[in-house]
Chain A
Amino acid sequence: MVSIERFVRVKSLAEAYELNQERMNTVLGGFMWLKMGNRKIENAIDLSGLSLDTIEETGEEFSIGCMCSLRTLELHEGLHHAFQGVIREAVHHIVGVQFRNGATVGGSVYGRFGFSDVLTCLLALDCYVELYKGGIVPLHEFATMKSDNDILVRIHIKKDGRKASYQSQRITRTDFPIIAAAAAKKDNTLFISIGARPGKASLLIKDDCLLDENSADDEIAALAEWARDQYKYGSDIRAGQEYRRHLAFVYVKRALQEILRGVTA
């Protein structure tokens, strides 16, 4: 059981950052993941008072506060339309509505979990993490960085007109994914991300991709095979390595088909 000595509702990010430099202090997201741990926390840093729970949309981007709930993300119409519903598709499986009212975007991205639908999906978009000290970092870089004592303030998703698709397979509908795949295409560049392998998602970029809505099935499949081979797979209690490898191929292929032809076959 996690224990907390003091609950500190900070007045500023500076205060939060300062507190977070101590090893025994921890930033609270939605607390869903933290709660399951055994940590002894001296000061729990609560960012609820900093108005970071909203999504702002401008002509160029969406700016999403770290305390924004996954449910808010799921229901945001602007996000939904800008990216063909991929974000909703990525989060609506996560446990249930009550859960998603609690879990935050900040905790989900900061956690860089192997199983993360959120991370897998956002990686395929033009997404950046805004850190209090570290400034703005592309998500794909952030995903490979070690946890440090910075504060994740917002994430930014650029409206660059890419078309995206999100796919996952799970044992029960609200379980963790046994594979998660996202793909997006802008002009001739493909962005692919595969997570829950069970390792953490990472971004794969393919330039000069000439696939279009008229491409043959085997051309798409060949690309999916190539993408699959760029990743390592493993086994855990949910699925074995060989099966995951196969699923990675299937779902990248389906994601590509969806992007190119607007249908899932």
Chain B
Amino acid sequence: MSAIDQPVRKKDAMALVTGKPVYTQDIAPKDCLVVKLLGSPHAHALIKEIDIGPALQVPGIECILTYKDVPDSRFTLAGQTYPEPSPYDRLILDQRLRYVGDAVAIVAGENEKAVEEALDLIKVQYEVLQPVLDFRRALDHEVIIHPEENWKSLAPVGADNRRNLCASEEVEYGDVDQVISECEWIIEQTYHTKANQQVMMETFRTFTHLDTFGRLVCVSSTQVPFHVRRILANAIGIPKSQIRVIKPRIGGGFGAKQTAVSEIYPAIVTWKTGKPAMIIYTRRESFTSSSPRHEMEIRVRLGADKEGIIRGIDVYTLSNTGAYGEHGPTTVGLSGHKSIPLYGKVEAFRFGYDVVYTNVMSAGAYRGYGATQGCFAVESAVNELAAKMQMDPVRIREINMVRQGQVMPAYYGEKLNSCALDRCMAKAKAMIGWDDKYPCKDMGNGKIRSVGVAMTMQGSGISGVDTASVSIKVNDDGFYSMSIGATDMGTGCDTSLAQIAAECLDCSVENIIVSGVDTDASPYDTGSYASSTAYVTGNAVVKTCAALRQRIKAEGSAQLGCPVEDIEIDGEKVYRVDTDESISLKDLANGAMCGNSNALSATESFSSPVSPPPFVVGMAEVEIDKETGKVDLIDYVAVVDCGTVINTNLARVQTEGGIAQGIGMALYEDIKYTEKGQMVSNSLMQYKIPSRLDVGTIRVAFESSYEPTGPFGAKSIGEVVINTPSPAIANAVYNGVHVNIRELPITAEKVYMGMHKEK
């Protein structure tokens, strides 16, 4: 039986559901120092004086560090391939504080109570500075957030710290102004998405200790162990060879843990004191001092001819990276490059952006990574275009959507080798009953039911950058152990990659054991982000298996005394095609452990020149209370083209989970600040993620294309699934009550106010 396209149980499933101690905090040594941070009460300030004397007197306090105690060389916490596009704008602790919650001091002690007490006793005198809180006014503001001389940008991303500019670019293809001016139908609108929080259930956490050789061991809930090794080396100023990073099971990441939010603090404590140290972020800290989605304001200009063919798209994105630049220069790109190419008949486009610093929490990576924001804007604009033309929004997509075989100028000129977007649309339409339900139905009880649509694409890894290596070796009795550097964060890649290996090696998935990531032992991988794991690491698995098969054959040819060309493997045994003489894999493996100088193992790396896009069509059915504007989500249908589905269960659950997060973004999740820049939505009490009563019914189907460059035809699925709910639900609201919501979330209040303004 094939191991691909199967609902294989996750290898760690039973351990997780029975509550085994497998997460970072569960496996930490008992004697770890408790590490906590003192956060800035001001959005922008300089530390004039800081007195830690009384705090140090608290019994049990081991060390207190301030900006005077840390290296003065800047780095970024972004988990990206070197040289990172994100600017080097951070210190472990800085004299200048750039948002409410920015770290002022690190306190480590024997127990939580002592540390809390010491935190209270640290006396700080601040010189309070004017903050920049409105990202629309940040560029060239008189207040400069990063005036420091040693700020640096390693990559040509158009950054200029003197202008509060973290990145800037404009690309144009064809003459977009000319093309749009010729169009019958033009839409120009601005959309605003907020800094959503990932809210993985396990907050940020790390423990560190020194090993037998005096090296720093960092055990962390991270998506990017190899990047963490470099970031720690940069931050503390020690050689990378002195650092080992281990990833245990992770309680969710969604991109949050693609930034090294928590690692530097216990690491410097351990490095200074020699003692084990652990930091566990509270939920509040996870809300106020972490790495949420970039807030973006996106202006879209669309032009279509009288038939509704979209000829020109002009997108400008203003992105708010907050106090620091993690992922600032890169997320923004996706807001255009993953939204414009969906429209295959576009003759000209322009995509420009500025990414600005402000005095709010630094942003980071969140599932969708800019594509989500762009999708809301461009898909909403297309829906507005359809409405203006009195055209069915499904129809306008059917006649404009990109098709398999097309070259996509707005997607770096890549050719689309696999695309079932048309089938996804048809299937979604049938599943939700679009033709019966569009645009809406008055239920006669003060409620209206209506439907809405959106489509989206993402990538599969970062082309030419993401790199995955995989090692597989044959062990006693012929079982395989596979080492990967990609991090399973609940996504199940340890299992789905084992499925790929099992398919290549003709064995059962159980016959392949997978070890978690340890930078000392695992082969290099850029990490689990950018939807790279199934595609990039999956391809590395395929390549490694091919190499390993060659080695096994070579060993077989030696044992069976024939040329290697005459050798075949069927998963159980190695045999001669000419004589049927064979040797079992078990005997071969056991034989290889005695007097053998031919290692039965292989390691290969893979990097892709292309990043084939997966697609999703999302359709929402909502019920709107005409009197209050309250929107209840009834049904959400998502049809996915992720290429070949490797694990049917995991792909489905990825989709359902991504849709639910997208629903949270669309309807409930909002970040609010006071006028002084303090975050109000700093708990699960105030920042409302959906409960199981808030997601309606989510229904998922797959319409697979076959990606010729992917492992068994697979592309990616991790991120693309979060994008459609915001524009699809906004469209449903419009189709029900003719209100366009252009700023998320879509609250009852906005809908009600809209109904009474536009009427």
A residues at B contact (CB < 8 Å)? 1, 96, 169, 171-175, 237, 239-240, 242-243, 246-247, 250, 265
Contact = CB atoms under 8 A, between A and B. Distances in A.
A203 B298 CA distance: 47
A173 B688 CA distance: 10
Nearest to B630: A169
Interface string B424-447: 000000000000000000000110
Given A172-B668, A237-B681, A265-B446, A243 B691 contact: no
Contacts of B446: 265
Contact of B752 (A1, A237, A243): A243
Contact of A175 (B628, B688, B748, B753): B688
Q: Which 9 A/B pairs are nearest by Cβ-Cβ distance?
A: A173-B693, A243-B749, A172-B688, A172-B694, A237-B672, A174-B691, A250-B627, A172-B668, A175-B688
Contacts, number: 41
Contacts of A247: 628
A239 B750 CA distance: 10
7 contacts: A169-B748, A172-B691, A172-B693, A173-B694, A175-B688, A237-B686, A246-B752
Contacts of B690: 172
Q: What's the interface size class on B, roughly?
A: 20 to 34
Contacts of B694: 172-173
B688 A243 contact: no
Contact of B445 (A171, A242, A265): A265
Contact of A173 (B670, B691, B748, B749): B691
Given A174-B691, A175-B688, A243 B672 contact: no
B688 A171 contact: yes
B555 interface: no
Given A174-B693, A265-B445, A1 B116 contact: yes
Contacts of A265: 445-446
A246 B628 CA distance: 8
Nearest to A1: B116
Interface string B608-630: 00000000000000000001101
Nearest to A93: B693
Contacts of B681: 237
B628 A250 contact: yes
The majority secondary structure among interface residues of chain A is loop
B199 to A, nearest CB: 13
A42 B731 CA distance: 56
A174 B630 CA distance: 15
B562 interface: no
A249 to B, nearest CB: 9
B238 interface: no
B747 interface: yes
B685 to A, nearest CB: 8
A47 to B, nearest CB: 26
A111 to B, nearest CB: 15
B680 interface: yes
B364 to A, nearest CB: 23
Contacts of B116: 1
A265 B626 CA distance: 12
Given A172-B690, A243-B749, 6 more contacts: A171-B688, A171-B747, A172-B688, A237-B670, A243-B753, A246-B752
Contacts of B691: 96, 172-174
Contacts of A172: 668, 688, 690-691, 693-694
A237 B680 contact: yes
A4 to B, nearest CB: 12
Contacts of B686: 237
Contacts of A169: 628, 630, 748
A265 B686 CA distance: 31
Contacts of A237: 670, 672, 680-681, 686
B210 to A, nearest CB: 31
Nearest to B756: A246
Contacts of B445: 265
A174 to B, nearest CB: 5
Most buried by A among B446, B627, B670, B747: B627
A125 B737 CA distance: 37
B70 to A, nearest CB: 27
Most buried by B among A171, A239, A246: A171
